[in-house]
Chains A and B, each alone.
Chain A
Amino acid sequence: MSVPVHPRPLLSVALFVVGAGWASGVSLLDAQTLPPVTADAAAMAKAQSDSARYPYTAADIHFVTGMISHHSQAIVMAGWAPTHGAGAAVRRLCERIVNAQVDEIVLMQRWLADRRQPVPVPDFAMLAMGHSGGKHMMTMPGMLTEAQMRELDRAQGTRFDILFLQLMIQHHKGAVTMVGDLFAAEGGRDLAVFKFASDINVDQTTEIRRMQRMLTDLLLTEATHP
């Protein structure tokens, strides 16, 4: 199946700031801009010759497409840290998540564009208002429901920290499950997807452990931040 590429720029960063959760304070996304998705002829040719050797499959496309939406929700959640009174440790974690996952979205969008697949464009503003982004998103493991998103958006301070960690652990575990599903479906033979999925696997597994520690800590102790 051949699908024409529609390289479209992502929403400009300024737009996120006026979204519901971004109304005040400095967004974590400000520091990092999302470049437009471009697919050039040389890259497409390279992708084609790569895939002659390591053919990508429907499982790869499904994984990469889904992971863009999955990441988008994580970015919105983490982006709330400064405006929701998160403690220093959670704020640092959130900065990392936004930084890492924005870069990964760029990578995934390019992978799709180079292979002439439709490129999902995250609608951060809608996600920030609690919209789940459609039915297909909810079928992905670990995704927050609209109610969970709204609950997180309402939380402040320590309550935000605790809820954020609980929900992000759920979210990350979902991503790890998606990697498992990909390999079980004989995806990941494409080298770029193999590397990317393996990286998500180890990065998010490592981060889950870190968040579990932070959460235990928060649940048992007095809040140490205002």
Chain B
Amino acid sequence: MTRMLGRLSFLASVSLAAVANAQPSPDPRVGLKAGKTDAGVAAWNIRLVSNTPTQAPFTSSWNSDLAFFGNYAIQGSFAGFQVWDISNPARPTLRKGYHCPASQSDVSIYKNLLFLSGEDYGARLDCGTTPVRDSVSKDRLRGIRVFDITDLDNPKNVANVQTCRGSHTHSALFDPKDPENVYIYVSGSAPVRSPNELSGCVETNPDEDQHSALLRLEIIKVPLASPEKAAIVSAPRVFSNLPARPAGHAEAEEDIQAAQKSAAEARARGQFTAVIFGMERALSTQFTNRLLDSLVKVRGGAGFSAVTSADSAALRSALPTIIEKMMGGDEDRSHHMQCHDITLYPAVGLAGGACEGFGFLMDISNPIQPRRLAEVADSNFSYWHSATLNNDGTKILFSDEWGGGGAPKCRKADKPEWGANAIFSIVDGKMKFESYYKLPAAQTPQENCVAHNGSLIPIPGRDIMVQGWYQGGISVFDWTDPAHPREIAFFDRGPLDSTRMEMAGSWSVYWYNGVMVSSEIARGLDIYELVPSEFLSANEIDAAKTIRFEYFNAQGQPKFEWPASFSLAKAYLDQLERSKGLAPARITAVRNALGQAEAATAAARRTALTQLGASLDRDVSGSSDAKKVELLAKAVRDLNR
């Protein structure tokens, strides 16, 4: 055992050394100078195209989440929302600032409609700046504001949908089968407000009152033609019947092994065992002796001293029911368990729910009745915050916003599996734990840092994501191999303040139409571009840029479908070179052939591509990366369409 461990750690150190060679060492993110506008900066394979500071009256509030449409980025703020024209990423201009204070003004957009979350007690229906102070007030807004932004100069507040817990975040769902409506999934983790303010807001446990505002989602239906009719259409109880111990990485591996070993040994000794929370466990003899004692007494015997083998057999068969009863009741279905973020991926009919103590996989084929397919818990996770699915819908990544985003959880002593992402593969509707990914550079105690919002980057054939880590900066990582995620690019600034932790950093960073836009809580709007590296080629980045959306909400995940382009074919070829899926000479030959076809026109190009496609088809069977060769052959053939 010891020898094996020794060998494992040797292997681990070898692979770490390989990583260290590729990444700048020492990590330039460590020890950056503090400052608001003049902080030290470290960048690797990323270029900051522009930073545009927040303008009054938004300067004294925190910036929050982002949504996009056309050439615009909408940046939420605790003071309202800001519409930036980003048609020139080097010089974004504020097209419209709308003052309307609320926490935390999470934003989504669909066509001409903008949705804003409000959660706190001070926010007003009329967007006024004097906070509501009364405990019960008709002026309070906790829920979703709906704006028509057809006239960007004059956004019109067309509806407000009040909810019992307010809206911490929300996600917008467009169901292609239902083009007349858009659905808003509301997540809220704040306390339930008084029924005197909003009737029906019941805080009693759902077991006692079916109208309880706890342990549910709210889904708002917004008719596109008449958004003023927006209203809650369902409140599905996605938490009901949760198993006592969900699958997943609930226990540390060594704990599971220890339990299995001790259960086997106990069985061998003739001791009672039972399946508890999905794991076979040896039962304490004190506990089973007491049960035996009562069993004997029930049949009129003298108690434990008179136990027979029949009593033992009776207990053995009754144990599962006894244990189930003991576990039943679902302990204390604690009050405020709610989902924090739900990422909807309608193209595959799935949603990832980051729901405080759990990660949910949900079927959303019926938008108003989401159904929980599977759930995971994790002893290393404190707070399931957000979810991202990969483009194929075969993997899901959850992040743990340990400390709520206001704490420095990336210090050297903070464990790499805490405040991190957990990556799962999805197999037959279940989730299987694969690995953790945490920002790999230690940050100072002056920097709030934990996993936060990000999005996929549409690199064809790979799962690449960019993510904001508050003052930890932004990190681009590859999770194509879910068991071995690795960082391939980063950008970081020093702390906002050298003496104390102030809220700052990237609230969220999303890829949108060729650039990465980040909402810097205290420093404004950042726009970045990727710089080619050995981990990501220029062709792969060019192929990502062929994906264009009219609007984009990260929590309403769209599916990437790459249009035919030479960049796409070259991107796959670069990936085959990296994976050694084709011999170097063959890579060169295909690259030349692609270049010649691109330079050729009309019939000559057509012929060249047909020949190349056919020859690539013949490469498939001999390649160690056959799937990628197939993708390449298809990309080449598609160029002829």
Interface residues of A (CB under 8 A from B): 31-32, 35, 38, 40, 43, 46, 49-50, 53-55, 88-89, 92, 95-96, 99-100, 103-104, 106-107, 110, 176, 179-180, 183, 186, 188-189, 191, 194-196, 198-199, 201-203, 205-210, 212-213, 216-217, 219-222, 224-225
Is the pair B407, A103 in contact by a Cβ cutoff of 8 Å? yes
Residues of B within 8 A of A195 (CB): 103, 404, 406
Is the pair A217, B413 in contact by a Cβ cutoff of 8 Å? no
A53-B129, A180-B191, A205-B335 known; A220 and B284 CB under 8 Å?
yes
B150 interface residue, CB < 8 Å from A? no
Complexed CA–CA distance, A110 and B287 (Å): 49
Interface string of B265-285 (1 = CB under 8 A from A): 010000100101100011111
Residues of A within 8 A of B445 (CB): 35
- Which of B27-35, B88-96, B323-331 is the contact stretch? B323-331
Is the pair A216, B382 in contact by a Cβ cutoff of 8 Å? no
Neighbour of A96 across the interface among B130, B255, B285, B382, CB < 8 A: B382
A103-B408, A202-B189, A216-B326 known; A221 and B281 CB under 8 Å?
yes
Tell me which residues from 481 to 531 in chain B have a Cβ below 8 Å from any Cβ of chain A. 499-502
Neighbour of A213 across the interface among B244, B259, B337, CB < 8 A: B244
Nearest CB of A to B510, in Å:
23
Complexed CA–CA distance, A46 and B59 (Å): 11
Interface residues of B (CB under 8 A from A): 60, 78, 101, 103, 120-122, 129-131, 133, 135, 189-191, 244-245, 251-252, 254-255, 258-259, 262, 266, 271, 274, 276-277, 281-285, 287, 323, 326-327, 331-332, 334-338, 340, 356-357, 377, 379-380, 382-383, 402-404, 406-409, 411, 413-415, 418, 445, 499-502
Residue on A with the closest CB to B355?
Answer: A206
Neighbour of A40 across the interface among B60, B406, B415, B500, CB < 8 A: B500
Is the pair B331, A38 in contact by a Cβ cutoff of 8 Å? no
Residues of B within 8 A of A198 (CB): 189-191, 404
A88-B252, A103-B403 known; A191 and B262 CB under 8 Å?
no
Complexed CA–CA distance, A210 and B271 (Å): 27
Nearest CB of B to A115, in Å:
15
Neighbour of B262 across the interface among A50, A107, A194, A224, CB < 8 A: A224
A176-B335, A217-B277 known; A107 and B406 CB under 8 Å?
yes
Residues of A within 8 A of B337 (CB): 205-206, 209
Is the pair B382, A205 in contact by a Cβ cutoff of 8 Å? no
Nearest CB of A to B149, in Å:
26
Q: 10 closest A-B pairs (Cβ-Cβ)?
A: A199-B404, A31-B413, A206-B357, A221-B281, A103-B407, A205-B334, A212-B331, A222-B282, A224-B262, A224-B258
Is the pair B403, A100 in contact by a Cβ cutoff of 8 Å? yes
Complexed CA–CA distance, A165 and B356 (Å): 20
Nearest CB of B to A94, in Å:
13
Nearest CB of B to A97, in Å:
10
Complexed CA–CA distance, A217 and B340 (Å): 28
Neighbour of A189 across the interface among B101, B133, B251, B383, CB < 8 A: B133
Nearest CB of A to B27, in Å:
20
Nearest CB of B to A96, in Å:
7
Extra inter-chain contacts (9) besides given A202-B340, A206-B357, CB under 8 Å: A31-B413, A189-B133, A191-B122, A194-B103, A206-B382, A217-B281, A222-B282, A224-B258, A224-B282
Is the pair B382, A221 in contact by a Cβ cutoff of 8 Å? no
Is the pair A222, B332 in contact by a Cβ cutoff of 8 Å? no
A89-B379, A194-B120 known; A220 and B78 CB under 8 Å?
no
Residue on B with the closest CB to A216?
Answer: B327
Neighbour of B266 across the interface among A196, A210, A222, A225, CB < 8 A: A222
Residues of B within 8 A of A46 (CB): 60
Residue on A with the closest CB to B266?
Answer: A222
Is the pair B379, A88 in contact by a Cβ cutoff of 8 Å? no
Complexed CA–CA distance, A89 and B271 (Å): 24
Residues of B within 8 A of A194 (CB): 103, 120-121, 190
Residues of A within 8 A of B120 (CB): 189, 191, 194
Neighbour of A49 across the interface among B60, B133, B271, B284, CB < 8 A: B60
Is the pair A199, B252 in contact by a Cβ cutoff of 8 Å? no
Residues of B within 8 A of A188 (CB): 121
Residues of B within 8 A of A176 (CB): 334-336
Neighbour of A209 across the interface among B130, B357, B406, CB < 8 A: B357
Residue on A with the closest CB to B338?
Answer: A202
A213-B277, A216-B327 known; A189 and B500 CB under 8 Å?
no
Is the pair A110, B500 in contact by a Cβ cutoff of 8 Å? yes
Is the pair A221, B379 in contact by a Cβ cutoff of 8 Å? no
Is the pair A38, B121 in contact by a Cβ cutoff of 8 Å? no
